[in-house]
Structure 1
Amino acid sequence: MKLKTLESTLSNVEPFRDPKLDLEQYLTSPHIAGHMLYHIEMKFGDIEGKTVVDLGCGTGMLSIAASLMGASYCLGLDIDDDALSIARENLDDGEITNVDLLKVDVIEKRFRRLNVRVEPVTQIKFDLPRSYKNHRRESLDIEVQMLRFSRIDG
C-alpha cells in the first residue's frame, strides 16, 4: 500500500470521544502513524507478515496501520475500556479481522521478566494539538520514542 493511500485510509479512524487526562490520551495523526509504520517496515522489515503488538493502542490507529501494511496479526493493548470500544468500532468499520484487543496495564519492567529486550529505535517529534482545557498553547512539539521489542536469545 502506498503511503498516501495508507494516510487517507487512516483519516477515517475515529478519535477519542472524551480523552482522559490522567492516561495522557492523544490521537496519533494519520500522517505520523503512516510514516512511523513505513519507517519500521523499511528499516527493519518488522511489519509485513509479522505479529505486531500496539502498547497503549487507544482507538487503534497504529494497529489498523500495521494491519493495512500486511502484518499477519496485531494485538492492541490498552487500559481504557472506552478507548478499546472505539478501537473495536474502528476495526469493524474498516472490516479489519486480524487485530485483537485486550484490556491490560502494560509496564515495561514486566517485559524484562519475560525475557524480552526493549530497544529504542528512533525518536520523532509529535505535533500535539491542544486537547485539554489546561493546555495553554494551540500545539506543542513533543519528543516520542519508538521502541522495538524482541526476545532475548538464551
Structure 2
Amino acid sequence: MNAYRARPNFIPWPPILIVSLTLAAIALGMLVPLSLEFAGARPLGAVLVALALGIDLWAMKTLYDAHTTILPNRGSTHLVTQGPFRLSRNPIYVANMALMAGLGLFSMNGWLLLLVPLDGVLTHMLAVRREENHLIALFGYQYETYCRKVRRWI
C-alpha cells in the first residue's frame, strides 16, 4: 500500500498552525504593538470572523454528511465535491485564513494580518500537498477531474 493511501499526514498541521500563529501574533502584539486603527476595522473583522466560521461549519457538515473525516491527518473515505467544496478544494483552510484576518481586524492586531500569508504558505507546504497526493492515490481520475473544475484556494 502506498504511504499516501492510508492517511495524508501524521500531524494535524492546519489547526496547529492557526493556533500557534494566532498565539504568536498575540505575543508579538504585547512585545511590539502593531495597531490597526482605522474606521470600520472592528465591524469588518466581525463580518470576516462570522463568514469564516460559517464556511467552516458548512464544510464540516458537508464532510460529516459524506461520512468522511474532518481531521486533516486522517484518511479520506469519500471524495467530497459538493457544498463549499464546489467553490474551493480547501474551504476550511481558506476560512482559517479569513478567521485570522478577521480576528486581526477585530482586535486591531496587525501581527495577525501579517501572519495570514505565512499560515497559507505553511498550510500549503505541510498539509495541502500531502492531502492532494492522498486524494490522487485514492480517487485517481475522479480527483484529477475535480481539480480541473475547482480551484485549490479561491
TM-score bucket (shorter structure): under 0.3
Query: Which TM-score applies when normalising by structure 2?
Result: 0.25
Structure 1 length normalisation: TM-score? 0.25
Structure number with higher relative contact order (C-alpha < 8 Å, ≥ 6 residues apart): 2
Structure whose residues are more often helix by fraction: 2
The structure with more radius of gyration = 2
